[in-house]
Structure 1
């Protein structure tokens, strides 16, 4: 019974003693101080971990970007090396700015005048309206103008027949500038002919026109013709 009484007294004392009495204890205060310090350290470590994780994400993205950039440069250098080791023919086909022709299909044309032309004006174009050949479709039978599809060297030839007893002067022009002239005159029909080799840039135009006011009639019926074809690429002249 005495033992039970003692235990009961101890329990009552624990309930009655105020909590503040524990906090006033020096050892308890030290423990609380240590716990508070550890809590602050844990919060700082947590902030450090978050900062390191963010830094790792940024580094990972930068590494991925550098990897892509390196792969791009590697492919570019490999392609450059391939181009450098190509034959001139393959390199020419690869570097053609318009990529509209191949080695086996260079532009070429021949057109003829189906009907007579009369009353020609000063510098009036002679439109060869009947197509014989037009590889690449770069000669227009509507305007009489050939337009260069790519930088290259071309050969042009024109044959112009005058009417019987009539004088006729004509010329082959590049972008409106005279290159060569043709002259025909006789008591019978006569043909004036000439040819020229031209280095053209893409978009340059070549055609045949009447010269000044000398003569005004061109004999047609397929007797007058205009031809041209590509010789080689200007890159390899």
Structure 2
């Protein structure tokens, strides 16, 4: 009878440990899910100081090196590409500034499809600038 009772206490200890491990794993999964459902990023083109980017002869992905906020880690500062981690509506704003009678512009793409453009051209000198914004329904993995 003593062996049976001792075996039951061992089993109870193992079950207790297993239950605690499952609770810990469930809590970790909840925390990860909460982080993925909250997504926001803010970035600027230059990491520091001022400078020029371009001109470019063709389409070039702009890589925003100075990442101010990246909640959810959906923006990749090495590639310049945002990848939606969850399905939802995302809002994007962008601004461009040129100088010396330049034409300036930047497209917003979704999965290699042009969505919207901010563009300005001046022939009389000065600092052309443009801005735009778009709210898009993105599926998981959309870029």
Same-fold call, TM > 0.5? Answer: yes
2:141 is equivalent to residue 196 of structure 1: no
Output aligned runs, 1:132-211, within 5 Å. Answer: 132-186=68-122, 187-205=125-143
Out of 102, 105, 108, the position equivalent to 2:34 is: 102
Unaligned regions of 5+ residues in structure 2, if any? 1-30
Structure 1, unaligned stretches of length 5 or more?
1-98, 206-237
| Number of equivalences | 107
* Separation of aligned partners in 2, 1:189 and 1:165: 7
C-alpha distance in structure 1 between counterparts of 2:131 and 2:65, whole Å: 19
More strand by share: 2
More helix by share: 1
Q: TM-score of the superposition, structure 2-length normalised?
A: 0.67
Bigger Cα Rg: 1
RMSD (Å) for aligned C-alpha atoms: 2.1
Q: How far apart, in 2, do the equivalents of 1:203 and 1:103 lie? A: 16
Q: Distance in 2 between matches of 1:141 and 1:110?
A: 11
Match in the other structure for 1:52: none
Equivalent residue number for residue 118 of structure 1 = 54
1:113 shift after superposition: 1.2
The runs of at least 4 aligned residues of structure 1 exceeding 6 Å deviation read none
